[in-house]
Structure 1
Amino acid sequence: MLRREEAKQPTSGAIETWTQPEDEHPDFQRCVEDIRGVLVASRGRTEEERQQYSESLNRAVLGFEEERVRFIAIINDQLAKRRMNHIVPPNRRYATLAEAVFAEVIGMNVLELLLKDREGLEEIQVVGRDIFEVRGGQAIPSLHKFQHVKEVERIQQNLVLFNNEVINPRKRWAEVSLKDGSRVTLTGFGFTAEPTMTIRFYTMKYFNLHTLCHSDYETMDDKIRTVLLCLLRCCFNMVVIGPTNSGKTNLIKAMIAELPDHERIVTIETRHELMLKRDFPNKNIIEYEVSEDDSVHSGNQAFKLALRQSPKRICHAEIRDDDANVYVRACTRGHEGSVTSVHVNELEDAPDAIADMCMLDGRGMSPARLTKRITEYVTQIGIEMGLIDGKRKLLRIGEYVYENGEVKVRDIVRFDFASRAWTYPQPFSSRAVKRMMKYGPEDCGVMEKMGLTERC
């Protein structure tokens, strides 16, 4: 007989999963362990075969239909060879024994129900028994819920089992990444108060600035697109800020889409998210994936190599403490038109935040002089992204200026929350106009006609 963990009914409307205790189904559990052993042993003989096999398993776990069907078929064949097809699945949700075994060995338990509706699903967040779905950049409580925390821990162990990773009392976290950019971050008891899983799907499609003006996105309008194209052609160094899921990566990728294919671009990321070479196979792009825990393949080392590979622009996904100095040097020594992101609350805070990172290495530098240099050469233009009414919006484009020992931002573009429209409070400074005249006199003329510059 099915029985349920004695607990109060959830008040949020969450659906509890009906299961039976494992010890009441020894035949099924033995079947599960046998199939798990077969799958682990089938990784392949060469490193390339093992990597391909792990990738296929990861995709099956995350609900990709082709790999899912493939592994259910493998499981079904193994059950037939072992004459186990007579075993009755312990959970009524599964139509066949193969599907029930798949859910235990590879699948995601109650998350299977979410994965069946992948349309618009950007992220799954699990905290203990609670599940949240991220759609349109916003997390909402799921209708589904784990019945036992141990079910979350079992999924964690399955994920690391097939990826040469561990999560145990000595190492209470793990990360699993797919080639398409999807990734899973896991934490266990002792590191977080409850076991957690964050599954972030790679949902980005091919974007350019014109696409982001479309009514489906409304990230910007045509006037802003014209401004951004001018900034790109005139090789301003830019910094992008905004909360998670606000569209920073989308915007950076859309700007890169507008650049000439022959321009050499170097990207430096801790995890491949931009996937530029995949989407822009004809572009002259070198993509670095760095490790914070490996000094041989650190961001600092990637920068040193990148600077010897004749980049026109450097795209640094997120500026961090260790590589701040190298990025600043790159932007001040000829690699104009570079772009990065930084975690700050306001555009005005970015130069000081980067200066603070640079000071951490203990060099004797004047903070004021360093901030001035960063303001004028590293963060020439700031862009702020945000979520408004469920859509990712460009909220500000600002030009950084350093006046009277202070960092100031001239608001070239600003989103007005009252009217839900963009305004253009200030024109570009004379310093910016000189740069436009140097790199793009025609662009300067366009900005003048739009009322965004003094006379060019």
Structure 2
Amino acid sequence: MSIRDRLQGIVTASSTKPNLAVAAVNNQGALHDNVGYYELKSRIHEGLLNRMDLAVMESLPQERLLTEIKHLVEKLLIEERTPINDTERLRIIQDIQHEVLGLGPLEPLLADPTISDILVNTHRQVYVERRGKLELTDAHFANEAHLRKIIDRIVSRVGRRVDESSPMVDARLPDGSRVNAIIPPLALDGSLVSIRRFAVIPLKVEDLINYKSMTPEVAEIIGGLVKAKCSILISGGTGSGKTTLLNIMSSFIPHNERIITIEDAAELQLQQPHVVRLETRPPNVEGKGEITQRSLVRNSLRMRPDRVIIGEVRGAEAIDMLQAMNTGHEGSMATVHANTPRDALSRIENMVGMAGLNLPPKAIRQQISSAITAVIQVSRLPDGKRKILSIQEITGMEGDVITMQEIYLFEQTGVAPDGAVLGHFRATGIRPKFAERLRVHGVPLRDDLFDPTKRYE
């Protein structure tokens, strides 16, 4: 989207706000209300559009462009002669810079490293999540048209669209943050946007240990599983930290391996040098051209992968994932939405059924039990903290049932007066069958890792 389109779009959105009145001014020169602020900003936008040499501006680097916009806005504010204080002057300059080069009112929120989620509930209301808790912010958009312009800017960057014929869309920001937008007529009160933030500097194992999301012992077991090329399934609810854990687990993969990632919206931040990233494609306006995760999984097997990592298994691609794990692509990893490890296996079984192969349940379960070595359950607790709740090993089949044994767990013991969840990590005392495989691959596990008498807060 060109600078001209951005400016004209925002000016149009701002000018359509109903019943705009001239801003009232108090004795200190401060604008009394948002109505006056938006009217002033709209006039500055229009003046900027008339003054800027857009052809020259398009060729300038971003830092130079920001400076030029600042100078022009300051000049226009002097010409306006509307008494405003320094804080309001700086706010108008920053807002217009964000409108031209960024995502408008969302830019200050995206720059805040403490925010993990941004939830736009129509143009009037924006919530954020900090440290697991939701907070209402002062940010809002001029009107519905303004919000739609920002949504269009986000989705157009990744070659996607959103309109009445396709009112839902998944996209991503340049930093890998995941975006979901849904517009009327599906959203009754106005367009909605949900942004799942990802750290600019990816978290490391040490960070999760410091946050008490896991213990060094749990990290040692998980690292051994990855290094020994055991196939792992990460299970958890929305916002529980599945993708974050998958990113961290990938750090244990040797740097000489070829990794292929497959996602609906690219969000993984793998640090290895040899990573090939694939992303699905939605259908076009005519309803054609869709590329599903299943197609990408099948194609990835022709690309000589050492490991295949699926961002989230959610459909018929489950059968291709299991077959890949069973036919020489061990060490692959994926995430799935489920409340418990047992539920995760049931969901995989149901998704295999979506492939339409008419396999008997026992055959599907045999595929699952032979393909997956361990299931790691993660959760966001009531106090907002995310923890690894359980590591369970799949040991085989007994009759028609997949057998599992728990190796490590987080045991909740209560809730503190301030709402913090109390509990500890501990081993169950069971030495896993995969311990021998890890030893053969040069990653022996110490016996004291499985001592059930030890407690880790």
Whether the 8 Å CA contact 2:241–2:379 is kept in 1: the answer is yes
1:284 to 274, 298, 304: 274
Is 1:234 the equivalent of 2:228?
yes
- Shift in Å, 1:143: 4.9
Q: By how many angstroms is 1:315 displaced?
A: 1.2
Equivalent residue for 2:353? 359
Report the Cα offset of residue 422 of structure 1. Answer: 0.8
Of 318, 322, 346, the residue aligned with 1:324 is 318
For 1:341 and 1:240, locate their aligned partners in 2 and report how far apart those are by CA, in whole Å: 5
Q: CA deviation at 1:25?
A: 8.8
| Partner of residue 380 from structure 1, selected from 373, 379, 392 | 373
CA apart distance, 1:124: 1.3
Pairing of 1:440-451 with structure 2 (within 5 A): 440=442, 443=444, 446-447=446-447, 450-451=450-451
For 1:90 and 1:158, the matched residues in 2 are separated by 33
Q: 2:297·2:320 contact (CA, 8 Å) conserved in 1?
A: yes
Aligned residue runs from structure 1 range 187-226, under 5 A: 187-193=182-188, 194-203=190-199, 205-214=201-210, 217-226=211-220
Aligned residue-pair number: 407
Q: Does 2:417 correspond to 1:422?
A: no
Give percent identity, aligned residues only: 21
Aligned to 2:35: 19
Inter-partner Cα distance in structure 1 for 2:449 and 2:163: 63
For residues 404 and 82 of structure 2, the distance between their equivalents in structure 1, rounded to whole angstroms, comes to: 63
Relative distance call for 1:72 and 1:234 in structure 2 (3 A) is closer
* Corresponding residue number in structure 2 for 1:392: 386
Query: Are the structure 2 counterparts of residues 95 and 315 from structure 1 closer, same or farther at C-alpha, using a change threshold of 3 Å?
Result: same
Q: Structure 1 residue 30 and structure 2 residue 25: aligned?
A: no
Supply the distance in 2 between the matched residues of 1:200 and 1:449 (Cα, whole angstroms). 35
- Taking structure 1 as the reference length, what is the TM-score of the superposition? 0.75
- Structure 2 CA distance, aligned partners of 1:144 and 1:84? 22
- In structure 2, the residue corresponding to 1:191 is in which secondary structure? coil
Stretches of structure 2 lacking an aligned partner (at least 5 in a row) = 1-21, 25-31, 414-421, 453-457
Give yes or no for contact 1:269–1:289 (8 Å, CA) kept in 2: yes
Q: Is the 8 A contact 2:212 2:387 kept in 1?
A: yes
Q: Which amino acid is 1:414 matched to? A: L
CA distance 1:436–1:192, change in 2 (3 Å)? same
Once residues 35 and 24 of structure 1 are traced to their aligned partners in structure 2, the CA distance between those partners, rounded to angstroms, is 16
For 2:235 and 2:84, the matched residues in 1 are separated by 47
The answer to whether the 8 A contact 1:185-1:197 is kept is yes
Out of 316-325 and 300-309, give the one that drifted further. Answer: 300-309
Report if the CA contact (8 A) 2:247-2:268 is conserved.
yes
Q: Secondary structure at the match of 2:322?
A: helix
Pick closer, same or farther for the CA change 1:335–1:17 going to 2, 3 Å.
farther
List per-residue Cα deviations over 1:370-427 (Å, max 9, x = no partner).
12321x2233200011224443211110112432322343111110110511121241
Distance in 2, matches of 1:197 and 1:90, equals 35
Q: Deviations over 1:27-52 (max 9, x none)?
A: 5463366589948x9667xxxxxxxx
Task: Please name the residue that 1:179 is paired with.
Answer: 174
2:399 pairs, out of 385, 395, 404, with: 404
Q: 1:223 to 1:103 in 2, by over 3 A?
A: closer
Alignment partners' CA distance in 1, 2:228 and 2:158: 45
Describe the shift of the 1:379–1:204 C-alpha distance in structure 2 as closer, same or farther (beyond 3 A).
farther
CA distance in 2, matches of 1:173, 1:192: 10
Aligned-partner Cα distance in 2 for 1:204–1:331: 31
Q: Secondary structure at the match of 2:319?
A: helix
Counterpart residue identity of residue 256, structure 1: S
State the match for 1:2 in structure 2: 23
C-alpha displacement of 1:200: 3.2
Contact 1:316/1:341 (CA < 8 Å) preserved in 2? yes
Structure 2 CA distance, aligned partners of 1:346 and 1:317?
A: 19
Q: Select between 300-309 and 288-297 the one with higher mean Cα deviation.
A: 288-297
Q: What is the aligned partner in structure 1 of residue 137 from structure 2?
A: 142
Tell me the residue number matched to 1:11. Answer: none
Contact 2:410–2:424, Cα closer than 8 Å, also in 1: yes
User: Is the Cα–Cα contact under 8 Å of residues 172 and 267 in structure 2 kept in the other structure?
Assistant: no
SS in 1 for 2:250: helix
Residues 90 and 393 of structure 1: CA distance in aligned 2, closer, same or farther (over 3 Å): farther
